[in-house]
Structure 1
Amino acid sequence: MRRENALDVVEMIEGLLRNQSTLNYQELVTVLNKLEDVVNLSVVTPNLGQALINIISDILESDSNLLPFTNTILNITEAVGDRMVGYEGSSTLIAPAIAISVVDVVPEQFGSLTFGVSSDRAGTKPEIFINRYPFNSTVAFISLPSALQHSFPQSNHQSPPRVTFQFFGIPVLFKSSQKGHVLNTFVVSASVTNASSPIKDLDEDVKVTLHHLIPNTLYRDVQCVYWNFNKNDGHGGWDDYGCRRYNSSSDYTTCLCDHLTHFGVLLDVSRTQVDPANEQILTIITYVGCGVSSLFLGITVLTYTAFEKLRRDYPSQILINLSLALLGLNLVFLVNSWLSSWGLYGLCVAVASTLHYFLLASFTWMGLEAVNMYFALVKVFNVYVPSYILKFCALGWGIPLVICVLVLIVNREAYGSLLYTDAQPTLDNSDNFCWLQDNVTFYVSVVAYAVLIFLFNIAVFVVVLIQIRHMRVNSPAGTSRGLIHDLKGVASLTLLLGLTWTVGFFTWGPARIVLLYLFSGLNTLQAKYCKRACNYEDMSSCISSKEELVAKQLLIESDCYTAAQQ
């Protein structure tokens, strides 16, 4: 390729890209290699630079997989700024998805330099402000300190020191290498052409202010980061070395960094941190367990409904309601991600609130199981409650309803998913799950409520064990039973009251992964134990013992607890 026809080649490539919405891997390799040749072999005039930037913008706006080419694209854009000639003082190249500004400086007169970007993020080209703060719709602002003058190369009349700014208006080019984090801002960078040494450990900080793509109304943790070209085997990734958060609001975060590079802000969208391998295993356990639990809970409900004598007593009627609550929790969880993928915010709120409701209903009916057990085994005499089951139903289904309605009234935005915003799509779609997004609401309406229920159930559990012990001591000679029978009784009580949930409250810190597996494994073993304990030749005896139902229900209790946290 000759230098004279470089602009023609670039315009031809630009024309071809206009008709293609997606480029495959090989097409991207070909186009980017050609752009590198143009930059390296040609004189980059403002006209040629603008044509190159237009092509990069078209590539960024396409549906192509750009992750393997992030470093290549960044190097091309920086080379355009470094090699541009034919302008006086400064020059700016603007396209819908990218902007580049180059500013020639005099080291001895350098005090500070700012680069601001204003955009309505509606597909129009961004507006660039040099040494002026943008008036409206500021999406990025970077201020360079006076200490930067010590890093400028020695000036000469042919090539004065130059500062290059870059702005990327579509974050699809960058992928977070940190699980549970998403890039929540556009990316802005600053560099010095032909610097005497890598610009780092500055005496004064570079100040970067970035607008959040997703308003951080829940005040989740944000992290100031820069793009490290060497991470992920040379593919690049986000790193926080030398950068720290100065302040943050729901709309903006200001970072302070001691070096120059590409800057962004990551948003923490997960309450838990599990490595990918264990997360995949736990996900499989979750969905398989929920599916099996749904099957057996459905069978149990149908069996109790079909045989009237099985549902005559109070314990059986309470157990039916508990089974229905757990079945609802199971089914909503299984279809949650699918419904979330429809992209309807109202539907996501409905799904999240329904999941919240059935989770609270499950907790409530476990508590009511404890109340009924206390009346039956401890307060045996002089206890008569009119409309006993009706009042239990009012409490079991009414209390969760009141809590969910209050959440919707006070803060409806507490329900939802990070995917339903007006911002540009983020990179990590692992949060395609409709659930509580507000930490305060989650801990008050789920964690605190569950703690109260389980503290009460543990108290009843202890009282019932003491009562059973007294009954054993006072039983006639020859009627005592063995240790195995006692262990089965304790296991049944533990399952019936949902006490295995309490293990989930300790799934943090160094033992988190172990406890998550222990939590799921214990409940799976309980299901096997109860299956062996039941006499399948007498179905009514098996079901009325409640052991199989409770064991099956605990699959959802163990496996869906992690999902309920997210």
Structure 2
Amino acid sequence: MAELQNVTEIFADKITDSTVNTLTTVDLLKIIANVSQSFRVDKSIMTNFLKTVDVIGSKQAQNTWQKLNAGNTTDNASSVLLRSTEDMGSTLTDTSFSIITNSTQLNRTKTSGSFFGTFGTNFSTQIDIPVFNGLTSITTIVFTAFDNVLPVRNTTYNGNQTKINGDVAAIIVNNTVYNLSLTFDVKNTSLGSPQCVFWNFSLLDEIGGWDSTGCEVKPLVNETGKFKCECNHTTSFSILMSPFFVDNLILGFITFICVGISMICLILALIIEIIVWKPLTRNDTAYMRHVSMVNIALSLLIADICFIIGAAIVNKGEPTPVGPCTTATFFMHFFYLALFFWMLFSALLLLYRITMVFSRMSKAVMMVIAFFLGYGAPLLIAVITVASTAGGGGYIQEENACWLNWNKTKAMLAFVIPALTIVAINFLVLLVVVCKMISRGVGNVSEPDEKNAIVVIARCVAILTPLFGLTWAFGIGTMVSSALGIHIVFAILNSLQVLIFYSCIY
């Protein structure tokens, strides 16, 4: 056993990259497990066995196992590996001991009462067996990396949308167990629809697969990132979860119809601005107001186009194509941020005209400030975000949608924080402006057109700030909740903000 362990560690790369070498190693482990039924396995032998399993069950071997699990003659290899490990665990010596390897933890003990403990290399699985009848030997083997080995299959499906989202915990006892509970720390909190399952070796004509018979999910109050499973038997358990997205025909219809309406309205708004540009931009304040509104409309239009492109290149439940999705996400991030920063400019312009009545800034200077703030700041944030997260594969979501990653790098904060900060600043500006207008009105502004422009800017900021803020509050909600209502409200608000946008043109 020691020689096999040394060889697998020395030639780990060659073994994990080859289906033949991996399968040969599994066969050798099966032979060793069968031979071990004639004697007691001590700690050193079991340690070498688990270290060998670590090598062929590592992340580097994931693609190899996918090929083996999909093969007609090798699809039971993962089941054989798990069975061999359980067989070894059932023949351990009576002494109590613990083994910790890179991705596996084994605990061997005896008890005559209840059994409770937290196990795994990251202490991520809690096992509770309340009652034993008499003195009982119990062995727990918690595999942190067996999601690389075992496929997601049962009698009804064999797809890639459901994931093993926790440790795989093998519980081996020499007594009858009528009730036990396992609490798993989930690996990916963006997945939903938990299923408590065990590996049924006889399923699918002895190929093996996941089975939920005798197990059920129990809710945990005030616990996030954990799920509790209660089962009435012992074997190898885990938790399966599905991608956290809403695949609803009505929602898809509403989303694309609303985005389509939004794009048409934005195009019409830009055409109207071109037609009425000259008579509506007779003074500097009105001119800058319309510059701001045109760029808000343009940013939202381009962002919506990128959204449509991103939705078209991603299949629900499948990995996102990195190149096209990264491009779509970058421009969505940039232009959605741009519309918020142009809103900020509108608010600052309003504040400037109300508080600095007798101060005049040239149109050229205001244009430089406007475009630096409206496009320069978003570009800087977007570039820093992609540069700091793309290298580790943490820029975009791994599946379901083209948008900033949340689970791995929290890249979505690069949109959330600036957007919510601008909403808060705009509300403060509105508060200051309202106080100023109540105390002295806008009578100090000499030109009637200037007064009208200031009033319209105030109205736009007052309308668009809460609308954009509320829309994207629901937008953030769609990333962390599968509730259909949240997704529908976001889709409707996303188109409604364009209709209200028309009230700000004049």
User: Any idea what SS the aligned residue of 1:173 has?
Assistant: coil
Residue 446 of structure 1 is aligned with which of 415, 431, 444?
A: 415
For 1:496 and 1:440, the matched residues in 2 are separated by: 30
Determine the structure 1 residue equivalent to 2:469: 501
Equivalent pair of 2:190/2:243 in contact (CA under 8 Å): yes
User: Any idea what SS the aligned residue of 2:299 has?
Assistant: helix
Residue 357 of structure 1 is aligned with which of 300, 314, 334?
A: 334
| 2:426 corresponds to 1:457 | yes
Determine the structure 1 residue equivalent to 2:343: 366
Residue 392 of structure 1 is aligned with which of 345, 358, 370?
A: 370
Residue 234 of structure 2 is aligned with which of 230, 246, 260?
A: 260
Determine the structure 2 residue equivalent to 1:418: 398
Residues 410 and 189 of structure 1, relative CA distance in 2, 3 Å threshold: same
| 2:359 corresponds to 1:382 | yes
Residues 473 and 330 of structure 1, relative CA distance in 2, 3 Å threshold: closer
Equivalent pair of 2:310/2:328 in contact (CA under 8 Å): yes
Residue 305 of structure 2 is aligned with which of 313, 331, 344?
A: 331
Residue 288 of structure 2 is aligned with which of 314, 332, 344?
A: 314
Equivalent pair of 1:417/1:434 in contact (CA under 8 Å): yes
Determine the structure 2 residue equivalent to 1:340: 314
Determine the structure 2 residue equivalent to 1:227: 197
Q: What's the Cα RMSD here?
A: 6.0
Residues 353 and 453 of structure 1, relative CA distance in 2, 3 Å threshold: same
Residues 518 and 528 of structure 1, relative CA distance in 2, 3 Å threshold: same
What are the within-5 Å matches in structure 2 for residues 531-546 of structure 1? Answer: 546=505
Equivalent pair of 1:365/1:396 in contact (CA under 8 Å): yes
Residues 196 and 287 of structure 1, relative CA distance in 2, 3 Å threshold: same
What displacement does 1:524 show? 6.3
Question: Residue type matched to 2:340 in 1?
Answer: F
What displacement does 1:459 show? 1.6
Q: Unpaired segments of 5 or more residues in structure 1?
A: 1-60, 62-91, 155-162, 420-430, 480-486, 534-544, 548-566
What displacement does 1:497 show? 3.6
1:228-256 alpha-carbon deviations (Å, 9 max, x no partner): 79xxxx9769855599xxxx9xxxx9x99
**What TM-score do you get using the length of structure 1 for normalisation?**
0.50
Determine the structure 2 residue equivalent to 1:200: 179
User: Any idea what SS the aligned residue of 1:437 has?
Assistant: coil
What displacement does 1:320 show? 1.3
User: Any idea what SS the aligned residue of 2:238 has?
Assistant: strand
What displacement does 1:454 show? 0.9
Equivalent pair of 2:347/2:461 in contact (CA under 8 Å): no
For 2:256 and 2:218, the matched residues in 1 are separated by: 38
Residues 371 and 474 of structure 1, relative CA distance in 2, 3 Å threshold: closer
What displacement does 1:302 show? 3.8
Determine the structure 2 residue equivalent to 1:8: none
Aligned length: 383
Q: Unpaired segments of 5 or more residues in structure 2?
A: 1-18, 69-76, 93-97, 114-130, 200-210, 282-286, 449-454
Question: Residue type matched to 1:326 in 2?
Answer: L
1:134-185 alpha-carbon deviations (Å, 9 max, x no partner): 999x77666564449997999xxxxxxxx99998934231699xxx984246
Determine the structure 2 residue equivalent to 1:172: 152
What displacement does 1:496 show? 3.6
For 1:473 and 1:398, the matched residues in 2 are separated by: 32
Residues 228 and 490 of structure 1, relative CA distance in 2, 3 Å threshold: farther
For 2:336 and 2:31, the matched residues in 1 are separated by: 49
User: Any idea what SS the aligned residue of 1:418 has?
Assistant: coil
Residues 391 and 473 of structure 1, relative CA distance in 2, 3 Å threshold: closer
Equivalent pair of 2:162/2:242 in contact (CA under 8 Å): yes
Equivalent pair of 1:318/1:389 in contact (CA under 8 Å): no
What are the within-5 Å matches in structure 2 for residues 400-415 of structure 1? Answer: 400-412=378-390, 413-415=393-395
1:312-332 alpha-carbon deviations (Å, 9 max, x no partner): 522111111111111122111
Question: Residue type matched to 2:405 in 1?
Answer: L
Determine the structure 2 residue equivalent to 1:67: none
Between the aligned residues of both structures, percent identity stands at: 18
User: Any idea what SS the aligned residue of 2:197 has?
Assistant: strand
Question: Residue type matched to 2:394 in 1?
Answer: A
